[in-house]
Amino acid sequence: MKSHHLFIMLLILLLFAAGITGLYRGKEALKQTEPVVPPTAEQAAPVPEPARELPPPPAEQTPPVAPPAPASPAVRPHSAEHATALRVTQAFELPAPQRATVLNELVQQGVISQETVTRLNDWRSKKGDVPLQVQEVGNILDEQARTKETRYRISTADGGGEDIVLSISAPTEGKAPSVQQAKEVPADKTRVTSESDSLSVVEGFVEALKHGDMETARRLTAGGDVTDATLAGLCMVFEEGDFVLRNRLPLRNMFSKGANAGFLVYLSPRNGSEKSRNVGIEMTHDAQRGWLIKAVALDDMLNRYEESAQAEGGVYFPIVKNPQGGDSLVLYFAFDDATLSPRSLKQLKIVANLLTSREGNINISGHTDDIGSSAYNQDLSERRAAAVRDALVAQGVAAERITTRGLGKRQPLRSYRTGDSRQTISTIRGENRRAEVYLDF
Please check the confidence at residue 131 and state whether its pLDDT lies above 60: yes
Does 188-312 match 77-187 at the fold level? yes
Q: Percent of the chain scored above 70 by pLDDT?
A: 76
Residue 421 clears pLDDT 50, i.e. is over it = yes
Burial class (CB in 10 A: 0-12, 13-18, 19+), 188: middle
Each residue's pLDDT tens digit, 69-105 = 444 446 789 999 999 999 999 999 898 889 999 999 9
Domain locations along the chain: 77-187, 188-312, 318-440
- Is residue 292 within a helix (H) or strand (E), and if so which, with residue range? strand 290-297
Q: How confident is the model at residue 42 (pLDDT cuts 50, 70, 90)?
A: very low
CA distance 277 to 221: 22
Cβ contacts of 286-290, under 8 Å, gap ≥ 24: 286/222, 288/194, 289/194, 290/192, 290/193, 290/194, 290/195, 290/196, 290/201
3-state SS, one letter per residue, for 2-48: HHHHHHHHHHHHHHHHHHHHHHHHHHHHHHHHCCCCCCCCCCCCCCC
Would the pLDDT of 153 be above 50? yes
Give residue 49's pLDDT band: very low, low, confident or very high (50, 70, 90). very low
Phi, psi of 287 (to 5 degrees): -60, -35
pLDDT band at residue 286, thresholds of 50, 70 and 90?
very high
Give residue 324's pLDDT. 67
What span, in angstroms and rounded, lies between the C-alpha atoms of 434 and 49? 86
- Which pLDDT score is estimated for 241? 58
What confidence score (pLDDT) does residue 306 get? 60
Residues 170 and 147: their CA atoms lie apart, in Å, by: 8
CATH 3.30.1330.60 fits 318-440, yes or no: yes
What span, in angstroms and rounded, lies between the C-alpha atoms of 246 and 261? 21
Summary mean pLDDT of the chain: 80
Min mean pLDDT across 12-21, 215-224, 348-357 is at 12-21
**367: number of CA atoms within 13 Å, CB side?**
23
Specify the pLDDT at position 273: 63
With a CB cutoff of 8 Å and minimum separation 6, the contacts of 394 are: none
Residue 111, pLDDT > 60, answer: yes
Of the candidates 183, 177, 181, the residue with the CA atom closest to the CA atom of residue 109: 177
The DSSP-derived string for 229-241 is HHHHHHHHHHHTT
Q: Is 320 exposed, middle or buried (0-12, 13-18, 19+ CB in 10 A)?
A: buried
pLDDT of the residue at 342: 86
User: Please, how many CA atoms are within 13 Å of residue 198, restricted to the half-sphere of its CB?
Assistant: 27
Local confidence band at 9 (pLDDT 50, 70, 90 cut-offs): low
At residue 416, φ and ψ (nearest 5 deg) are: -100, 165
Q: Which has more confidence, 209 or 236?
A: 209
Confidence of residue 213 (pLDDT cuts 50, 70, 90): confident
Evaluate if residue 189 carries a pLDDT over 50. Answer: yes
End-to-end Cα separation, the chain, in angstroms: 153
Q: What's the pLDDT at 307?
A: 62
Domain 188-312 classified CATH 3.40.50.1970? no
Bigger pLDDT: 202 or 413?
A: 202
Helix H or strand E segment including 91:
helix 80-91
> If one looks up domain 77-187 in CATH, what number appears?
3.10.450
The answer to whether residue 404 scores a pLDDT higher than 90 is: yes
